[in-house]
Structures are given as C-alpha cells and as structure tokens.
C-alpha cells in the first residue's frame, strides 16, 4: 500500500489519524531486547513462575503513538520535539490497541505542529495513555510502499519449549518407530530419545536403518532394531509390539500414512479403541499466547456428526494432556449463524448443544463460529458474540479434511507455525509427522505423545526415578 505524508502546509487543526495493533507476548520480548528493559513484570516466565498475563511496558504503548506520527500524520520526515504521557490504564497480550493523534495547533514560525495523542483498548474503548506531542512537520512531500519495509517474524516457539519442559521429567515412552530409514525420521526418533521423551524400538529394514545412522553420524548401540524389510510388515510388527506390552506408542517413519494405519484399524488384530481414529495438530503459532489445536487435518475426509463427536472429544483430551485445563473449542463454519443450507453450521450447533448436555465432556464447545470470530476477540465483539469461546478458541474443529489441512498449512507456511501431529483413538498414541517436518516438530510430537500417555495411564515424573 502506498503511504504519503502530510506536509506542514497541508495540515489543518482537527486533522486526525489512527492505527490499530494487536499486542502480543512476542512484542514484549522484542521490546525487552531492543530497549534493554528486561523487567520480568512484562515477560511470561518460561518456568511458569512469572505473571501469566503480564502488562505491556508503558513505553511500548507510547511507541504506538510514534508509529502514527511517523507513518501517517504527519508521516515520513517528521521529527519529535517533545512528548508528554499520562498512563491511566494497562494493556496485555491478546488485546487490540488503537493509537490516535489529532492536530490541535500549528506554529508557522517554528514549523511545528502540536498533536493530541492517546491509546485505547479496542475491545472496551478504555483509555490506556494520553498526552501531547510537539513535532517538526515535514516540508517536502514523501511517499513509500509499505511492502518495501522489512518483515520480522519471531520464531520463539515458547509453547513447544513449555511442552518439552513438562514432558522431559516423565518416564520415556517405549515407542515402536516404523521404518526410520532416512535421516529426518531416524534423527527425530533419536532426538526424542536424547530428550528422554521416548525409548525407540526401530522397526524396519535393519540394513537401511544402520546405513541411515552412519549417514547422520548416529550411534545405535543399545537401541533395539526389529528387522522387517517390507513397510507393511513393519507396520504390522509395530502393532504386535503394542499387543505384547513392549511399546506404549507408535511413531511414523519413512512410509505412507495409510500403510502405517492399515494394520491398526484391523477389527481383530488392530489397535482400535472406543472412538474413531482422528488426527490433532498441536501448533505453536508465533505471536499467539497459547497453543492452538487444529483437527482433523489428516484422517477423516468428510466426517459426519458421529465422527465429529469423536474428533472433538479426542482434541479436548489432548488439550487437557498438554495443560489446558478447560479447552475452549471453536467448531468452524463459514458463518457464525446456523444456516439450513450449510451442513457444517448445523453440525457445529449440534456439537455445541451435545457438549452443553454432557455428551462431550472436559471442554467448552461453541459453534458455529467463523474463523475470525473464533480467534479474534474484536471480530467476536463486532458480531455481538459474547461467550468464553468466541475470540478465545484454543481448539479449532474444521468441517472436513480440506479445510483443516489448508488451515494447518497456512499457519505453517504463512504464519511460520510449528506443528506437532498425533493420532488419537488407538489404544496408544500414534506420533504422525509429515516426512518434511523439522526436528522441533518431531520433538514436540514426542512430547505431546508422552504427556497424553502419562495422563491416560496416570504416570508421573516420580515413576521415572
């Protein structure tokens, strides 16, 4: 978008402008490092001992005023003379802030402009900061394209770091790793072992596994290898290890998902549980103040209502396993209104009512919700939605595999999120990574599996001693 400044001669008393910005925890980390102000009052403690909703630094709030002055009014070429500030409220991560300036005076002799300044919370219009700025307004016309500005993505992935912190003290989960016959899949399993998340049993072509280990410089001493040259046979052997009580989890290696799952869904010899097999992504989205779960992006193509009940319940169970005490579940559709011509909106409404009546337990379920009012409190308020879930969803349930898969990949490739993948519904957690996933995704998947297994079996950190 082309942005133009307003010169001194173009400015008039009464001119005003504003900018909106979502305040995030990453903003506070960036501000702390750039300013050198490391006051722990403004930072979430990764060990969980600090404030869970830290207030934004006051001078960060003040910088939002300078953004309006430097970008819009007067804009490029403006220089500060002075700024007064009065802080009369607080802002926190997850709140949208509106910074406004208004011209209240001009001094032709000095070439200065006096501006009334303020910052308010968008949700309730509460005043956060007021003040007055005196600036030297530009004399020459300037313009630039905001697409030319460098972008900044903070990939801290603090939520995955928290998962690792919670999971590492647990007993390692004995895990049958199926066909770890290339570098990423074998490396991911060994990384999970290094962090004491899993104890891998490598099931596949022994020669290929050892050759891959040599390629990546890994030592397989004391790691069990079960030699199965065929992918289908390796998947069946992994299921047998679970039945024998030797494995408490299964991890996908370098094979297709349908090959991995086929023996698991066998009605006689498989690993079927009481619910449908469903897939959950636990995603660490930069700038988002909590993990975000997306389901079902990998298994159920066009789920009916009965299947969606299991999809929602499985996702709630995973969310609780990773520390979300009462998960907020947004069931997505294209609209927040029930539309008889839109089956996804009807299913969403029914799932919400089923949760109200105890047919789905452990979480707060609301639907239908459109994507915007599921995750953005401003959008929810604009639509008049007032509930604990609208604008605060921690679990997103998509209408079908197309929508869920696109959503997860958009978060990954556009928002630079990391995703941990897990299959639920089997007797044991199934770690399901894409063959292109990096080390952090694989490691986080192991952590989610370990935490979920610990929750359903009652294992604790003391059991590891």
362-394 pLDDT, tens digit each: 999 998 999 999 998 888 888 888 889 999 999
Tens digit of each residue's pLDDT (9 = 90 or more) over 22-49: 887 778 888 888 888 888 888 765 444 4
Work out the average pLDDT over 145-170: 71
CATH code, residues 274-425: 3.40.718.10
- pLDDT value at residue 47: 42
Per-residue pLDDT for 71 more than 50? yes
Top pLDDT among 157 and 218 is at 218
Region of poorest pLDDT, from 24-28, 329-333, 358-362: 24-28
Fold classified for 2-148:
Thiol Ester Dehydrase; Chain A (3.10.129)
User: Strands across the sheet with 430-431, in order?
Assistant: 225-227, 198-204, 173-178, 249-252, 430-431, 418-424, 278-284, 292-295, 395-397, 328-332, 364-369
Work out the average pLDDT over 102-126: 93
- pLDDT value at residue 156: 55
Whether the CB-CB separation of 204 and 179 falls below 8 Å is answered with: yes
Alpha carbons 116 and 84: distance in angstroms, whole number: 10
Alpha carbons 386 and 380: distance in angstroms, whole number: 7
Work out the average pLDDT over 430-452: 86
Whether the CB-CB separation of 248 and 271 falls below 8 Å is answered with: no
* C-alpha closest to that of 347 among 365, 361, 363, 364: 365
- pLDDT value at residue 51: 47
- pLDDT value at residue 2: 65
- pLDDT value at residue 379: 85
- pLDDT value at residue 292: 95
- pLDDT value at residue 147: 54
- pLDDT value at residue 441: 84
* C-alpha closest to that of 440 among 156, 220, 134: 156
Alpha carbons 109 and 101: distance in angstroms, whole number: 22
Enter the tokens of residue 366. Answer: 């609301």
CA 195 to chain CA mean position, Å: 22
- pLDDT value at residue 44: 64
Enter the tokens of residue 332. Answer: 């997505």
Top pLDDT among 458 and 349 is at 349
* C-alpha closest to that of 363 among 323, 316, 331, 397: 316
- pLDDT value at residue 46: 44
Alpha carbons 106 and 175: distance in angstroms, whole number: 72
Work out the average pLDDT over 73-98: 92
pTM, two decimals, is: 0.71
Spell out the domain ranges in the chain. Answer: 2-148, 274-425
Work out the average pLDDT over 179-205: 92
Alpha carbons 316 and 358: distance in angstroms, whole number: 13
CA trace torsion 283, 285, 289, 292 (10° rounding): -30
Q: Which residues contact 34 (CB under 8 A, 6 or more apart)?
A: none
3-state secondary structure the chain: CEEECCCHHHCCCCCEEEEEEECCHHHHHHHHHHHCCCCHHHCCCCCCCCCCCCECCHHHHHHHHHHHHHHCCCCCCCEEEEEEEEECCCCECCCEEEEEEEEEEEECCCCEEEEEEEEEECCCCCEEEEEEEEEECCCCCCEEEHHHCCCCCCCCCHHHHHHHHHHCCCCCEEEEEECCCCHHHHHHHHHHHHCCCEEEEEEECHHHHHHHHHHHCCCCCCCCEEECCCHHHHHHHHHHHHHCCCCCEEEECCCCHHHHHHHHHCCCCCCECCCCCEEEEEEECCCCCCCEEEECCCCCCCCCHHHHHHHHHHHHHHHHHCCCCCCEEEEECCCCCCCCCCHHHHHHHHHHHHHHCCCCCCCEEEEEECHHHHHCHHHHHHCCCCCCCCCCCCEEECCCHHHHHHHHHHHHHCCCCEEEEEEECECCCEECCCCCCCHHHHHHHHHHHHHHHHHHHCCCHHHHC
Whether the CB-CB separation of 12 and 115 falls below 8 Å is answered with: no
Per-residue pLDDT for 274 more than 80? yes
Enter the tokens of residue 78. Answer: 């403006």
Whether the CB-CB separation of 15 and 101 falls below 8 Å is answered with: no
* C-alpha closest to that of 117 among 156, 63, 193: 63
- pLDDT value at residue 465: 45
Alpha carbons 390 and 308: distance in angstroms, whole number: 20
Q: Which of 15-29, 45-59, 134-148, 154-168 has the highest mean pLDDT?
A: 15-29
Place 160 in a pLDDT band, splitting at 50, 70 and 90.
Answer: confident
Tens digit of each residue's pLDDT (9 = 90 or more) over 229-269: 899 999 999 999 999 999 999 999 988 989 999 999 988 88
Work out the average pLDDT over 296-317: 96
- pLDDT value at residue 96: 85
- pLDDT value at residue 437: 74
Place 446 in a pLDDT band, splitting at 50, 70 and 90.
Answer: very high
Place 161 in a pLDDT band, splitting at 50, 70 and 90.
Answer: confident
Place 435 in a pLDDT band, splitting at 50, 70 and 90.
Answer: low
Alpha carbons 310 and 331: distance in angstroms, whole number: 13
The packing angle between helices 439-457 and 305-321, to 10°, is 90
């Amino acid at each position: 978008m082309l942005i133009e400044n307003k010169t001194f001669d173009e400015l008039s008393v009464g001119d005003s402008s504003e900018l909106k910005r979502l305040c995030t925890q990453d903003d506070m980390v960036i501000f702390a490092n750039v300013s050198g102000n490391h006051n722990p009052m403004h930072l979430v403690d990764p060990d969980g001992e600090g404030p869970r909703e830290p207030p934004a630094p006051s001078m960060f709030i003040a910088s939002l005023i300078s953004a309006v002055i430097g970008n819009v009014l007067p804009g490029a070429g403006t220089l500060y003379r002075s700024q007064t500030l009065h802080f009369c409220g607080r802002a926190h991560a997850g709140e949208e802030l509106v910074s406004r300036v208004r011209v209240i005076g001009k001094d032709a002799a000095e070439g200065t402009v006096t501006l009334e300044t303020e910052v308010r919370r968008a949700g309730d219009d509460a005043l956060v900061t007021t003040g007055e700025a005196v600036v030297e307004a530009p004399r020459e016309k300037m313009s630039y394209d905001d697409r030319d500005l460098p972008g900044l993505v903070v990939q801290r992935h603090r939520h995955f770091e928290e998962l690792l912190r919670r999971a590492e003290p647990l007993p390692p989960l004995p895990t049958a790793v199926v066909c770890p016959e290339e570098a990423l899949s074998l490396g991911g399993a060994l990384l999970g072992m290094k962090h004491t998340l899993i104890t891998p049993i490598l099931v596949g072509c022994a020669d290929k596994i050892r050759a891959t280990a040599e390629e990546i410089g890994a030592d397989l001493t004391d790691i069990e290898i079960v030699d199965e040259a065929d992918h289908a046979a390796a998947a069946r052997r992994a299921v047998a290890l679970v039945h024998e009580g030797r494995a408490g989890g299964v991890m996908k290696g370098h094979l297709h998902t349908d090959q991995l799952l086929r023996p698991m869904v066998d009605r006689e010899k498989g690993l079927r549980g009481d619910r449908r097999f469903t897939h959950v992504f636990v995603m660490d989205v930069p700038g988002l103040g909590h993990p975000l779960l997306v389901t079902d992006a990998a298994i159920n193509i066009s789920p009916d209502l009965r299947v969606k009940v299991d999809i929602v319940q499985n996702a709630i169970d995973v969310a609780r396993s990773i520390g979300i005490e009462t998960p907020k579940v947004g069931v997505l559709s294209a609209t927040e209104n029930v539309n008889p011509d839109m089956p996804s909106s009807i299913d969403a409404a029914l799932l919400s009512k089923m949760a109200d009546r105890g047919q789905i337990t452990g979480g707060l379920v609301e639907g239908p919700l459109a994507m915007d009012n599921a995750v953005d409190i401003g959008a929810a308020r604009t639509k008049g939605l007032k509930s604990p879930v609208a604008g605060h969803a921690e679990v997103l349930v998509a209408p079908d595999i197309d929508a869920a898969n696109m959503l997860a990949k958009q978060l990954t490739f556009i928002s630079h999120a990391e995703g941990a993948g897990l299959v639920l519904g089997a007797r044991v957690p199934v770690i399901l990574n894409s063959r292109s996933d990096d080390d952090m995704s694989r490691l986080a998947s192991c952590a989610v599996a370990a935490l979920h297994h610990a929750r359903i079996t009652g294992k604790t950190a003391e059991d590891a001693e």
